[in-house]
Structure 1
Amino acid sequence: MTHPDPMSRALAARRHAAGMAYAVLLSARERPLALVERWPRGRWRVYLFDARPWRMQMIDLKPHSTGMLLAHHNTRWQFSNEQEHSFGKWDVQETTIVSADGQVEVRSEFAGPRGASTEPLPARTSGPSSVPVRRFSAPVEDFLCRVPEFGDWQVFAPFLAQQGHVPASTVVLNDVSVDEGSGPLRATGIEQLFSPGVCDTSDGVAVVEPVDAGLLRITSGQLVISDPGWIGETPRTVAVPPGEFPVTLSLLRTTRGADVAAARVTLLDIPPREWEMALRPDEDLGLLGEGQFYGVGVDTGTVAFLDATRTVIEDQLDEDLFMPLDSLFTVELPGTAPEPNLIAFRAGRGDGSYPVWIGRTDDGQVGCVVVDFQLHSADDGGE
């Protein structure tokens, strides 16, 4: 019934209009009835709760050729007791799959007396080797519902009956008030991430140690910040002048060892006057909730600074980059001058998404670019 970071109605409406994800909790008398998730590309998911309340059902909906939504995948669970439910150990799992033309397949899996799996409910897809299956045809209209406009949650009311919830003759939906909050993540105290000295973290007292990671050669005027294993078609880029620029890592040494807390490319030896989030053309700060950010996605535990024209040979990344980073904080993949090089470094404590900040001078020039791995507060050096 509560969420640590609720989204305001206004923000959810903006995300709906932009085709982005959000979720809505439908409840009555402080009891959850359904959790509705809106996904990109017109897809929806509905989790249904029973009267206890336990999450007992999951329905996936996708666009149909009629312009409506098709409930194409419906999974129900039965649990023997509360403990089994909490561990996701169902006794029976029934999955109904509906094709676009109304062909229905129902699979019933029985886990036995000891339960089935300790995995989360949506992740449970495998079962016994012999699964009873029923197949039949039905009017596809029985599995269609209209596509909701934002706020039209009445669309999902008929699904509630599948868990025994009987709607009143008149249903009134009331929004819970949620403040807009202070908006997206702000860059505060970024310079302190590179100031040597002692700071407090969740692991106790730590020491900040700036280290030189070499010179980055930019030839195209476009600096790319990316996981070197996933340099996509639309990488996160910042327009900068061509040249060679120093790269600095901020190491955070604690009792558990040392990690890269931040990385910086310095383009001008002038302190930044203001900071802004590095955005791609398709990203809108108005779609972010309180403390949220667009950042560089990491899936190899590594981030790199490189020129937009620099290419990598994926088959050589393990030997030339990832394996050396097991024992080093940073690795350079050189390029024969004047070709651009690549400087890679460990991404904090692993995979995730991390904000990229542009520091601008008084006259608006890009003075530096920083990746913050959020190992300690940039505000005051503490967690």
Structure 2
Amino acid sequence: MIFDSLDVSYGEMWGPHRGTTHPEPMSRAVAARRHAAGKDYAVLLSARQRPLALVESWPRRMWRVYLFDDRSWRMQMIDLKPHSTGMLWAHRNTRWQFSGERGHSSGKWEIQETTTVSADGQVEVRTESAGTRGASTDPLHAQTSGPPSVPVRQFAAPVESFLCPVPEFGDWQVFAPFLAQQGHEPATTVVLSEAPVDEGSGPLRATGIEQLFSPGECDTLDGPAVVEPVDAGLLRITSGRLAVSDPGCLGGTLRTVAVPPGEFPVTLSLLRTTRGAGVAAARVTFLDVPPREWEMALRPDEDLGLLGEGQFYGVGVDTGTAAFMDATRTVLEDQLDDDLFIPLDSGFTVELPGTEPEPNLIAFRAGRGDGAYPVWIGRTDDGQVGCVVVDFQLRSADGGQ
């Protein structure tokens, strides 16, 4: 196919998604802000309503290009990184052959050819069949090492033939020459046409958070439910920093909020349905005053301007458990099972005490298990922190599902 124009759209990185349009589209403005901040996003280049290339921008100025054939099958993956010349260097190029539609849809290739290029133009081509490897187009499986029986060709080539300019945002014609590798020939001039995407209302907003803790009946997709606020004890803060975290994953930068020292009540919102009960939200209250406004709890490296429609930064949960604690509180991993995870099998919350005046920790089951959940700061009229809430999203912000 010869093309003289490309339709451009933006979205989140696709990962294992095998569709032909963005599963999570993004406005140009958000993508541009991510580009400037060195954050990841994806660009889809299409022609005549068919995808030709998916370009992923990775941190540290790395790029990945997926190429599609005339059937809109993803057939090739090119990894690029900065070269000493100041250009991008296609250091790895992986092609796949499939036996048919079923093999492609499941990611099971018959032949995989991987070309790796060194910075000075030394080329190695490695060809594998499904019988020599686990046959998957997952990037984690697209490796360059293999058993000795895999055929390998080695030769030298001008490294210039593997270089391309580093694109400024919007300069996607840079990647047009790659499309010829799947039979899509660019015309002398290629015009870009960007699909408009409304930014909408932007990142997730906190509306109706108070309803999460209002006792009584409500409706969910699972049918009628009952909200039951439960006292989970007093949280002792000594450092003036509240941390919200998975107690089993305390490494890295914690999500913290500046709060006064002292002891403050923790309340769980239990949502009881015919299918059982779960923790819909957890709150620690610092002032007995209704919040005037809510804001998302952010880490120093997080920027709301980089979020798309309905997105949020939140606390990551990998053990099905979250906790409120003082930011200085430590946890011994070898005590977690006996002191925390096993007790939570038969309850919704557990306290890991600290010898007074040391801080304690109050943990609770995350309503949906592992995942990421928004943390909201409720501020009073004069800007003080009245409460902090982690919402496990068993109900929507307006009180429904």
* Shorter-chain TM-score tier: over 0.9
Flag structure 2 segments of 5+ consecutive residues without an equivalent.
1-19
- Which residue of the partner structure matches residue 354 of structure 2? 335
Letter paired with 1:290: E
- Which residue of the partner structure matches residue 35 of structure 1? 54
Which range moves more in the overlay, 21-30 or 325-334?
Answer: 325-334
Contact 2:43 2:56 in 1 (8 A): yes
Contact 1:49 1:55 in 2 (8 A): yes
Which structure: greater strand fraction? 2
Shift of 1:256: 2.8
Shift of 1:123: 4.3
- Which residue of the partner structure matches residue 156 of structure 2? 137
Shift of 1:97: 2.0
Shift of 1:116: 5.7
- Residue 65 of structure 2, aligned match among 28, 34, 46: 46
Letter paired with 1:88: G
Shift of 1:44: 0.9
- Number of equivalences: 380
| CA pair 323-103 structure 1, distance change in 2 beyond 3 A | farther
- Residue 122 of structure 1, aligned match among 115, 133, 139: 139
Shift of 1:135: 2.6
Which range moves more in the overlay, 124-133 or 20-29?
Answer: 124-133
1:197 partnered with 2:216:
yes
**Which residues in structure 2 correspond to 1:212-223 (within 5 Å)?**
212-223=231-242
Shift of 1:348: 1.6
- Which residue of the partner structure matches residue 154 of structure 1? 173
Contact 2:94 2:142 in 1 (8 A): no
Shift of 1:35: 0.6
Shift of 1:340: 0.3
Shift of 1:62: 1.6
**Which residues in structure 2 correspond to 1:274-289 (within 5 Å)?**
274-289=293-308
Letter paired with 2:182: Q
1:269 partnered with 2:283:
no
Flag structure 1 segments of 5+ consecutive residues without an equivalent.
none
Shift of 1:92: 0.6
| CA pair 31-304 structure 1, distance change in 2 beyond 3 A | same
1:8 partnered with 2:27:
yes
- Residue 86 of structure 2, aligned match among 64, 67, 75: 67
Which range moves more in the overlay, 98-107 or 168-177?
Answer: 98-107
Contact 1:260 1:347 in 2 (8 A): yes
Which range moves more in the overlay, 291-300 or 16-25?
Answer: 291-300
- Which residue of the partner structure matches residue 192 of structure 2? 173
Letter paired with 1:300: T
- Which residue of the partner structure matches residue 251 of structure 1? 270
Matched residues in 2 for 1:328 and 1:142: separation?
63
Contact 1:57 1:76 in 2 (8 A): yes
| CA pair 369-101 structure 1, distance change in 2 beyond 3 A | same
Shift of 1:120: 5.5
Letter paired with 1:382: G
- Which residue of the partner structure matches residue 320 of structure 2? 301
Matched residues in 2 for 1:130 and 1:257: separation?
55
Letter paired with 1:68: M
Shift of 1:128: 7.2
Aligned Cα RMSD in Å? 2.0
- Which residue of the partner structure matches residue 111 of structure 1? 130
Shift of 1:139: 2.6
| CA pair 104-308 structure 1, distance change in 2 beyond 3 A | same
- Residue 255 of structure 2, aligned match among 220, 236, 251: 236
Shift of 1:65: 2.4
Matched residues in 1 for 2:151 and 2:284: separation?
60
| CA pair 125-322 structure 1, distance change in 2 beyond 3 A | farther
Question: Which digits, 9 at most, give the CA deviation of each residue in 1:286-319, with x for residues without a partner?
Answer: 1111111111112222111111111112232233
Letter paired with 2:255: R
Matched residues in 2 for 1:34 and 1:333: separation?
52
Among all aligned residue pairs of Structure 1 and Structure 2, give the percentage whose two residues are the same amino acid.
83
Indicate the SS of the match to 2:339. helix
TM-score by length of 2: 0.90
TM-score by length of 1: 0.94
Letter paired with 1:124: H
Shift of 1:104: 2.4
| CA pair 275-217 structure 1, distance change in 2 beyond 3 A | same
| CA pair 291-367 structure 1, distance change in 2 beyond 3 A | same
Shift of 1:324: 2.4
Matched residues in 2 for 1:284 and 1:125: separation?
33
Matched residues in 2 for 1:253 and 1:128: separation?
55
| CA pair 346-92 structure 1, distance change in 2 beyond 3 A | same
Shift of 1:268: 0.9
Contact 2:109 2:137 in 1 (8 A): no
Matched residues in 1 for 2:279 and 2:147: separation?
46
Question: Which digits, 9 at most, give the CA deviation of each residue in 1:133-169, with x for residues without a partner?
Answer: 2233333222221211100101111110111110112
